[in-house]
Homo-oligomer: A and B are copies of this chain.
Amino acid sequence: MTPATRTRSPRGQGDELREEILDAAEQLLIETQSEEAVSIRAVADRVGVTPPSIYRHFADKATLMFSVCDRQFHRLDVELRRRLAIGDDPVEVVQACGLAYVQFGLDHPEAYRIMFMGHSDLTPDQYRDEVLSDHGAFAGLIEAIDVVSAAGRLKPEIDVHTAALVLWESVHGLVSLRIAKPNFPWPPLADHVATHCGLVAAAMFEPV
């Protein structure tokens, strides 16, 4: 939308521009694959607005960036919960979640970088590390393992929290390395995830 066609929002509806800003920033992030390329100016340009008007909707750049990622991660959350609901073999559910998680990371590498590979001290307060354990994708993971546990398929010597942690770390390792080192000779994605998750699952879940 160009400056000419943009109409200024009436009083109560500043949220419209807010959404457009989020859309533009997300688009730029996807196009450029670079957090640094998504400057306040670039976003403003894309929306068809001047830079200062961004500040009416976001406190600062970090808040904007995290809001963009937050929105994307909500979509991951939805994806994961869809897979949880299938509820076939719980171990297969975990595998399916692992694949969805990896796929999400590779589809949104910059968002994934910002959320899980960036500097913690640049994170706005509402996205502090501590919050991770209670909300979002990690909470979904705990639920998934809970289901496995309830079905009596978690090895008795392993508690749910530990299992969730190991799974998260392990899958995060896979996806973050594939993001950071795209030219490394990786196996084909599906094989890679299946082997990786299969191995880890074998260590903590009981076979049927």
Contact = CB atoms under 8 A, between A and B. Distances in A.
A166 B116 contact: no
Instruction: Give this chain's copy count.
Output: 2
Contacts of A202: 203
User: Interface SS of chain A: helix, strand, loop or mixed?
Assistant: helix
Contact of A173 (B162, B176, B181, B183): B176
Contacts of A196: 165-166, 169-170
B195 A199 contact: no
A78 interface: no
B181 A129 contact: yes
Interface in A23-39: 34
Contact of A181 (B120, B183, B195): B120
12 contacts: A34-B119, A116-B180, A117-B180, A129-B181, A162-B195, A169-B170, A169-B173, A173-B176, A199-B204, A200-B200, A202-B203, A203-B203
Interface of A: 34, 116-120, 128-130, 132-133, 158, 162, 165-166, 168-174, 176-177, 180-185, 187, 195-196, 199-200, 202-204
